[in-house]
Structure 1
């Protein structure tokens, strides 16, 4: 999303505002917003420009490592994306912290500078948002976006409390779960334990612990 379009002086960021799809696309081409994250759902857009702190980035790393190691040990086919954009043209778009296609059926999207078209490749099976300053929105409005997008599972990581709120999505709605359904056997409590350990342990120590647990 890079072009020469200037950023409007009256642009309101970090909240949901009314906008057309064309306005949303134009803002995505603004060089002033190159590092921002973009969300759109049913004529509402949210452009996040808040800086990412240490807690957010550390938890993002732990979640990525945990999912990758679990898939490796359990021989689960998956493909991960960090800050990837997923688009249903004209209707909605999202840029979650982490997203995964999981299972035997998915096709790997090509490496391009364009958002992944969910009409062509389907929605990710698992989406993860790391919430350090956006918790209420991640659990609320964004959860509705992901339900409509067609994902199967959605996790919100509360950085301040070290908790993971996980939802299974089906039939246009979602319900809270404590064990992953797209990564069978993965207990949400174990992920929270990994987050707790990350406060005092380095990544290699946590990974060795995870491998031992996953291989038991």
Structure 2
């Protein structure tokens, strides 16, 4: 999600039902105010601070579409997982975010998330963010919030400079993975979810999906699908 921080307010807002960049709020207050905003309004609460979304750039929207296609194709071949985009996630007491893309295991298949009213609550297994002007937020404040919420894998694609960051949870903390020699990251949480780094950076959707198809054909994916089915409770 593209964001800009204009100013920091040290008090809760006194402007009635409104949200502004820099407001310091707890999640219940933010959520109540956010639900009263127009559908076109986008904001997140990260570490207790409100960030209102900036206009979305062409580079950001194109990269998000490629990430979305990657995850949707994986979901299509993996019963028991979902890949929503720009959906509200209630992370914790001071965090309510809308990841560009995410992938999670459904609760009835042993997933970690739960449902709170019409929203997801908790840390998704995997989150993807595209960072243009928001690189500092996605790689620092938001990274910390996702880490605290228990997210297992966190991907950030920056567009200036063009670079992919893949973080994996180790002993409760994110560690950035080194780029493999073959240029392909392979998810440790979702077997078969392979990502061609050069292709995602250059927005080569065909190459991204071709690499994913090789991952889906790997025997590890078939084993994961069987494992998910064995966990199914309904």
Name the CA distance, whole Å, in 2 between partners of 1:98 and 1:212: 19
Q: Distance in 2 between matches of 1:22 and 1:207?
A: 39
Change (3 A) 1:79 1:59: same
Query: Which residue in 1 is equivalent to 2:110?
Result: 105
Name the CA shift for 1:69/1:33 in 2 (closer, same or farther; >3 Å): closer
1:183 positional shift: 2.8
Aligned to 1:164: 164
Contact 1:27/1:33, CA 8 A, preserved across alignment? no
Aligned counterpart for 1:7 among listed residues 14, 18, 26: 18
Work out whether residues 6 and 32 of structure 1, in 8 Å CA contact, stay in contact via their aligned partners in 2. no
The alpha carbon displacement at 1:95 in A equals 1.3
2:70/2:209 contact within 8 Å kept: no
**Do structure 1's residue 84 and structure 2's residue 87 form an aligned pair?**
yes
Q: Which shows bigger deviation, 49-58 or 96-105? A: 96-105
Structure 1's 62 and 22: CA in aligned 2 closer, same or farther, altered over 3 A?
closer
How many Å apart are 1:149 and its aligned residue?
Answer: 0.7
Please name the residue that 1:127 is paired with. Answer: 127
Q: 1:191 to 1:183 in 2, by over 3 A?
A: farther
What is aligned with 1:176?
A: 176
Q: CA deviation at 1:163?
A: 1.9
Inter-partner Cα distance in structure 1 for 2:45 and 2:209: 36
Counterpart position of 1:46: 50
Any unmatched runs of 5+ in structure 2?
1-15, 180-184, 219-234
Superposition RMSD on alpha carbons, in Å?
Answer: 3.1
Question: How far 1:71 moved relative to its partner?
Answer: 5.0
* Structure 1: gaps spanning 5 or more residues: none
TM-score computed with the length of structure 2 as normaliser = 0.68
Count of paired positions: 193
Which of 20, 25, 31 pairs up with 1:19? Answer: 25
